[in-house]
């Protein structure tokens, strides 16, 4: 059974870089056709896809966040990481990592297409 667990700071200061790690167990992040994503949900709003790293290492980003977002992976640890630069209070949200198989360019941005999701981690941006 695939399980995902987010880790990282719950509080970040404005203008700093948020870094979150997702540890995957029960499956390999390099398994064929596996896609691994970061999704967030600001208070009172819907889910927002931030970006994806594919089994091949190829990355895809939400155009609205692309200039501030990087997703990377450590295959030796079976982890993938989100970095969000220049955070502001508007980046306050619950951040989820998610995984799925066989996704396409039209579905990687849809949160309900992911089979697996972590429990989420609350991130607040405040000085």
Q: Which residues of the chain have pLDDT under 50?
A: none
Give pLDDT tens digits for 69-83: 999 999 999 999 999
pLDDT for residue 71: 98
pLDDT for residue 35: 97
Which residues have a Cβ under 8 Å from the Cβ of 102 and sit 6 or more positions away?
33
Euclidean distance between CA atoms 72 and 44, whole angstroms: 29
Query: Which of 57, 55, 56 is closest to 101 using CA atoms?
Result: 55
Q: 54 φ, ψ to 5°? A: -85, 170
pLDDT for residue 44: 96
């Amino acid at each position: 059974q695939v399980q995902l667990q987010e880790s990282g700071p719950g509080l970040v200061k404005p203008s700093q870089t948020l870094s979150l790690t997702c540890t995957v167990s029960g499956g390999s992040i390099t398994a064929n056709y596996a896609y691994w994503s970061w999704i967030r949900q600001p208070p009172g709003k819907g889910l927002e896809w931030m970006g994806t790293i594919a089994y091949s290492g190829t990355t895809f980003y939400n155009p609205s966040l692309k200039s501030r977002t990087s997703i990377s992976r450590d295959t030796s640890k079976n982890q993938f990481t989100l970095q969000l630069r220049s955070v502001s209070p508007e980046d306050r949200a619950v951040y989820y990592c998610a995984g799925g198989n066989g996704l396409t360019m039209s579905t990687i941005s849809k949160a309900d297409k992911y089979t697996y999701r972590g429990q989420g981690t609350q991130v607040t941006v405040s000085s």
